[in-house]
Structure 1
């Protein structure tokens, strides 16, 4: 076995873990290949020429996108970068194989909007999910009943089975927070207005708030933190759209920000802009009601709905 060149990056610290999803493996491998190329002072064009492909394919590989013949091209690229350690090569190829598996959203591919797929693909790999929601109960914490109403409002002409499938995909995301291996911490800030906004019959919101209370009191209480942003916060903390910031435990995975609009989304990666949105979310956390008071606020709202016969 040849010795690994000193100073060349290694991917052996990133373990193959199917529960993190295929996209995380591709992104980690892509960043590793980019660093290997940089350590040899090679451009994307240099590598493309050496492995017999196009610069755009090299760029897509390094961005973690799906490409044709990924395992073969990864082997060629690493060879072009003079990576000769057998263990390093074997581990990199095993990560490439994992990246070829179906995406986590694949079972709902016919129903999940394309703009949300990048978030669904990466959030299972997050160490922490930090989110702000100004209009709705955050998707991870919705009941199926509430989710179906929300989805129906956005897709009024969709058939019932599609609405139900979309709702199952949305609420099923909470399961990753309860998994035994590498569960992400979920930190969400929700506007107080969400608790006042009607959602179908009054009973729908009553059962939704019951669900929030059950989550915060149940087995996930140490992994889920919910804060309420009061109306008194005013325009100081006003943000007109949902924000999700993903922070990963692995050095090869950079921060990811998801900014959702009505029928589209922006995805931002890496430091800089992602850091700016994280700071914005931290400010919202500081202005919102502390998490240890959330249960009291929810129980008070539940009692109010009960008095009004919800």
Structure 2
């Protein structure tokens, strides 16, 4: 059930107070542990303030709740299954004329199968309930309509590090089916997928994944994220720099057909 903002803040504040009481510490002590002010902790507990997710990460760690506070925050303030910091990006994905994405460690949500997404989310959110996991899976799969070959006019260019294909999410069978899905999407006329193999010299993308979205009448938006938060940037100097890096990544990667052959080879290894 989706609560009103006021009730959501109140419920979250009550749980923070309960966890703090269980820990046997004061608001001031919690603030010191989380590097936050006592006034900020008090405002949360009274339901006056809804903290941003990165602050919840700090409180969760300070109280050693094993991400139960984080899971509660996600369910209360991201009831559609999307992290609060990703909602605006999901809107931009639907409006985009072009999406360029580079992934260093895991497949992007736009291409994940349900079972890959479920395994990935479960590992990343061990304290989440089954309902919360399934809600997040539905939200992730729901975003994929932006790449529908019959309905979408969005151009999607993806560059993957080989590590994305080698990290086993779930089990080898899940990976084989996931790479089969990746190959199917790669054959769409509006999609290109390239792989940067292990051993590539002077790899231009070792500092992390990013998403570069082009929206008509708005321009480019670059998006990067951490476990706790996401950052969209529209500054032209920054977006142009990321566009340059993406060009370098495409140059370092195998061409499209060779990349598909490479993905197929790894898929067959999983299927043995």
TM-score computed with the length of structure 1 as normaliser = 0.59
Counterpart of 2:102? 132
Counterpart of 1:123? 93
| Matched position secondary structure for 2:219 | coil
Counterpart of 1:232? 199
Structure 1: distance between partners of 2:178 and 2:150:
26
> Pairwise mapping of residues 134-283 of structure 1 onto structure 2 (< 5 A)?
134-178=104-148, 183-217=153-187, 221-248=188-215, 250=216, 252-283=217-248
Higher mean displacement: 168-177 or 184-193? 168-177
Distance 1:115 1:239, change over 3 A: farther
Q: Which of the numbers 261, 267, 271 marks the counterpart of 1:302?
A: 267
Structure 2: distance between partners of 1:224 and 1:109:
30
| Matched position secondary structure for 1:267 | strand
- Structure 2 residue runs of 5 or longer lacking an equivalent are 1-77
| Matched position secondary structure for 1:200 | coil
Structure 2: distance between partners of 1:173 and 1:110:
12
The reply on whether 1:289 has 2:247 as its aligned counterpart is: no
Contact 1:144 1:167 in 2 (8 A): yes
Number of residue pairs aligned between Structure 1 and Structure 2: 195
Contact 1:241 1:260 in 2 (8 A): no
Contact 2:100 2:158 in 1 (8 A): yes
- Structure 1 residue runs of 5 or longer lacking an equivalent are 1-107
Structure with higher Rg: it is 1
User: How far apart are 1:181 and its partner, in Å?
Assistant: 5.6
Contact 2:105 2:163 in 1 (8 A): yes
Contact 2:99 2:154 in 1 (8 A): yes
User: How far apart are 1:153 and its partner, in Å?
Assistant: 1.8
Structure 2: distance between partners of 1:182 and 1:170:
17
* 1:203-223 Cα shifts (integer Å, max 9, x gaps): 111111111122234xxx101
Distance 1:304 1:180, change over 3 A: closer
Structure 2: distance between partners of 1:289 and 1:179:
24
TM-score computed with the length of structure 2 as normaliser = 0.67
User: How far apart are 1:192 and its partner, in Å?
Assistant: 0.4
User: How far apart are 1:158 and its partner, in Å?
Assistant: 0.8
Structure 1: distance between partners of 2:209 and 2:141:
17
User: How far apart are 1:236 and its partner, in Å?
Assistant: 3.0
| Matched position secondary structure for 2:236 | coil
